[in-house]
Structures are given as C-alpha cells and as structure tokens.
Amino acid sequence: MSASQSPLFGSVEDVAERLAGVGYLASTAVATTVYLADRLGKPLLVEGPAGVGKTELAKAVAEATKSELVRLQCYEGIDEARALYEWNHAKQLLRITAGQGTESWDQTRDDVFSEEFLLPRPLLTAIRRADPTVLLVDEMDKADVEVEGLLLEVLSDFQVTVPEMGTITATRRPFAVLTSNSTRELSEALKRRCLFLHLDFPDADLERRIVLSRVPELAEALVDALVRTVRVLRGLELRKSPSVAETIDWGRTLLALGLDTLDDEAVRTTLGVVLKHQSDQVKAAAELRLN
C-alpha cells in the first residue's frame, strides 16, 4: 500500500500567503518549489550558504500547515541507530532474564523484537505518523555517504524495513525537506529523488521587508542603512558572512540600545552581533573605515 499524499497547499499563492502569515517571506521561486514538492509528493533538497533560511523554511512550512516538525540533525558519524531506529537492549536483556526457565527461546525472541522494545528515531517516527508531518533532514552534507544510502529507501517509497518486524510503510507521506550547506557533493541517486531549490541571500528589497516584518518598531531609514551595510559586509571575503537572522538580530540590538542612526560609532560597538570572527571584524572595520 503506497502512502497517501494529502496536499498541504492549494496553490503557489496559498504557499506564499501562509508562509508570510508565520513570518517567512518567500519569493515566487521558493513558493513555487514548495508547492510542487507538496503536490508531487517529492522531497525538497534546499542548498545554499549558511544563514539564508533553509532550516527556517522547513519550520515555516510546519507552522503554516499545523504539521508536526520531526528533525534529524546530521553530523559526522551519525548512523542508522541515530537516524532510523534501535532496539532497547537494556529492556530486552531484562525481558530475556525474566523469561528464563519459564518459556522457550522462540517465545522470548518473538517478544523482545516487538513494538514494546523498539526505539524509533526521526526517520521512522516521521514515517509512522498519521497526522501531517514535516520531516527535516538538516545539514545532510555533514553526514557520511552511507547515510545517504539509508535515505534512499526512505525517500523512494517512504518505507523502512526492520528485519525483525518487516516493512513499515507510511500511511501519510511526510513533507520532507533536506538541507545542505554544500560542504560536499551529495550523490546523484539522492538528488534524483528530490526537487531542488537553491537559496541565496535575499536581494535588498526582500531583506528589508523581512527585517521590517520581524522588527516593525525600527524606522525604515534605519532598516535601509542596516541592509546596505550588511550587503557591503557580504561582499567582503569573510570567514562567515552575516546571515539574515543576524541582520534581524542587529536590528533588534539597535532598537534595544535606543539608536536611531547607524553611524560609525553604532557599527563599531555592535559589529559583534553580525560578525563572529575577530579577523572578519578587523577586515570589516578597515573596509568601512571605522578606525
């Protein structure tokens, strides 16, 4: 039995409106790709530099559709037990000990490899949910290549095989979002199963609207200056360019300090909000002539 594909959105415009309703201002390209991923029942692979809103997109889709967000945070060395499922070995051992001398091994084995002793991890959790679910596989490029092989079965048919219990198939297909910072190339087999979306830093107008939506108390002239300065910083060869979230934090910082202009002194004293490496701050200070 294949998983059902109850759509979460009615149109591209519906995507844009509902995401905006939870504070995520999506471009037409983003809204269109999200709509197609939903309609076609395909996972969405979102690539781009850190801090452009890849993870936030998945969170916004979950919030806008009142879906449960199930997140698998990838890291070097993550394995099947952390991504898919594992057995509760301590509980199994107690059960085996309790059954010694009173039942056959066949009876004990059937019992210890049952639902009671299964510990589902994010992938299995998302597949088994009957309610609307957004599955976020975050920073996929940090995981080993072997984990991609594990994902292929999950993303192809939205099913998981547990040898001791058989194949578990989704009754309701989750909306799956995979993110990547492009630190390594993902396999072609994985990419074929996904729709692709590249997110970059927003243009000046969109970033301005994002900041105003998140920090509406800021004067528009100050927001303009803020966005212009951040765009200059992103044009430098920095170890870590300011993210959109850090632009918003900078706006909140200026508001908290009661500053109404972004002059040299304001930039100098608050630069640590957006640049987190000393070498970046030194380079930015020289470029902006803050010294």
Question: What local confidence, expressed as pLDDT, does residue 6 receive?
Answer: 78
Question: What local confidence, expressed as pLDDT, does residue 291 receive?
Answer: 55
CA distance 168 to 152: 15
| Cα within 13 Å of Cα(206), Cβ side | 15
Q: What six digits make up the tokens of 17?
A: 């409106």
Spell out the domain ranges in the chain: 12-82+122-198, 85-120, 204-287
Which tens digit of pLDDT belongs to each residue from 156-192?
Answer: 888 888 888 888 888 899 999 999 998 888 989 899 9
Contacts of 73 (CB under 8 A, 6+ apart): 138, 139
Mean pLDDT of the chain: 90
For the chain, count helices (H), then strands (E). Answer: 14, 9
Q: Averaged over 214-240, what is the pLDDT?
A: 94
Question: What local confidence, expressed as pLDDT, does residue 3 receive?
Answer: 60
| Amino acid identity for residue 57 in this structure | L
Q: Is the predicted pLDDT of residue 127 greater than 60, yes or no?
A: yes
Question: What local confidence, expressed as pLDDT, does residue 148 receive?
Answer: 86
Please provide the CATH number assigned to the domain covering 12-82+122-198: 3.40.50.300
- Higher-pLDDT residue of 123 and 115 is 123
Question: What local confidence, expressed as pLDDT, does residue 219 receive?
Answer: 93
Question: How would you classify residue 242: left for phi > 0, otherwise alpha for psi between -120 and 50, otherwise beta?
Answer: beta
This prediction's pTM = 0.86
Question: What local confidence, expressed as pLDDT, does residue 4 receive?
Answer: 59
The size of the chain, in residues, is 291
Quick one: which H or E segment has residue 43? none
Q: Is the predicted pLDDT of residue 104 greater than 80, yes or no?
A: no
Percent of the chain with pLDDT over 70: 97
Q: What is the DSSP letter of 87?
A: E
Q: Is the predicted pLDDT of residue 2 greater than 60, yes or no?
A: no
Q: Averaged over 137-144, what is the pLDDT?
A: 92
Band (pLDDT 50/70/90 cuts) for residue 1 is very low
